[in-house]
Amino acid sequence: MLNELFKKFEKHPAQEKVLKLLFNRGFRVSEKGKVTSGNIEIPHTQLAKEAGVDRRVIDATTETILSDKLLKSIFANIQSIAFLRDVAPLMDLGVIVITPNNAYSSGILSDVAGVISTYGISIRQAVSDDPYLTEDPRLTLITDKKIPGEVVDLILELPNVKGISIY
């Protein structure tokens, strides 16, 4: 599905860059072509700076989104989430970031969650980067307690796991 969306922008790489930024941040596009996070409007000049493009590219991207039924529907309903990775240690939660061998493989989350659950550790949040949107996708798990070393060792033995970072 994402490939289909990106094909609409293949002749406009700067707009594709903006599309990825909107997706990654969970930003909406309003009926008036304004980019928002919830109901908070984000200036197109700020988005342009973040994406490394001219403000007019933001305008053109939102126009393209509003002129396409599927894109319009997606960007009218997308939402951002509170990602706990950077604050979890302050809240006495565990953080484990998995680097997969191949992010397109199925079962990575299931395999890792299976190992973690055998130690009675609950997963509070799981965020997986989309390999279509991110060059170096990772799986981030926030747990109800710190991950013991023996769990790390077992996860590293999983066939789809290339590496781990613990916070």
63: confidence class by pLDDT, cuts 50, 70, 90: very high
Of the chain, the end-to-end C-alpha distance in Å amounts to: 33
The reply to whether the predicted model has a pTM over 0.85 is no
Q: What is the pLDDT of residue 167?
A: 86
pLDDT digits (tens, 9 = 90+) for 108-166: 999 999 999 999 999 999 999 988 878 899 999 999 999 999 999 999 999 999 999 99
Ordered domains of the chain (ranges, CATH): 2-77 (no CATH), 88-166 (3.30.70.260)
Q: What is the pLDDT of residue 133?
A: 78
Angle at the Cα of 117 from the Cα atoms of 150 and 157, rounded to 5 degrees: 45
Percent of the chain with pLDDT over 90: 86
DSSP 28-63: EE-TTS-EEETTEEE-HHHHHHHHTS-HHHHHHHHH
Contact 44, 107 (CB under 8 A): no
pLDDT digits (tens, 9 = 90+) for 69-92: 999 999 999 999 999 999 999 999
* Region 37-54 average pLDDT: 96
Radius of gyration of the chain (CA): 19
Q: What is the pLDDT of residue 1?
A: 67
